[in-house]
Chain A
Amino acid sequence: EVQLVESGGGLIRPGGSLGLSCAASGFSVSSNFMTWVRQSPGKGLEWVSSIYSAGRAFYADSVKGRFTLSRDNSKNTVYLQMNSLRVEDTAVYYCARGFYDSSGNPFFKYWGQGTLVTVSS
Chain B
Amino acid sequence: QSVLIQTPSESGTPGQTVNISCSGSTSNIGSNAVSWYQQLPGTAPKVLMQSNNQRPSGVPDRFSGSQSGTSASLAIGGLQSEDEAVYYCATWDDSLNGWVFGGGTKLTVL
Contacts and interface: CB of A to CB of B under 8 A. Distances in A.
B35 A108 contact: yes
Q: How large is the interface on A (under 10, 10 to 19, 20 to 34, 35 or more residues)?
A: 20 to 34
B44 A44 contact: no
Contact of B104 (A44, A59, A60, A114): A44
Given A47-B98, A113-B44, 10 more contacts: A44-B102, A47-B101, A60-B98, A94-B45, A101-B50, A103-B51, A103-B54, A105-B32, A106-B92, A108-B37
Interface string B92-106: 100011111111100
Contacts of B33: 103, 105-107
Interface of B: 2, 32-33, 35, 37, 39, 44-47, 50-52, 54, 56, 86, 88, 90, 92, 96-104
Given A94-B44, A109-B56, A111-B46, A44 B37 contact: no
A44 B103 contact: yes
A111 B100 contact: no
B44 A58 contact: no
B38 to A, nearest CB: 11
A39 B88 CA distance: 12
A45 B101 contact: yes
Contacts of A101: 50-51, 54
A61 B99 CA distance: 11
- Chain A contact residues: over half helix, strand or loop, or mixed? strand
Interface of A: 35, 37, 44-47, 50, 58-61, 94, 101, 103, 105-109, 111-114
- Chain B contact residues: over half helix, strand or loop, or mixed? strand
A46 to B, nearest CB: 7
A111 to B, nearest CB: 4
Contacts of A106: 33, 92
Contact of A107 (B35, B86, B100, B104): B35
A44 B1 CA distance: 11
A109 B47 contact: yes
A33 to B, nearest CB: 10
Given A103-B33, A103-B51, A105-B51, A59 B102 contact: no
A94 B88 CA distance: 15
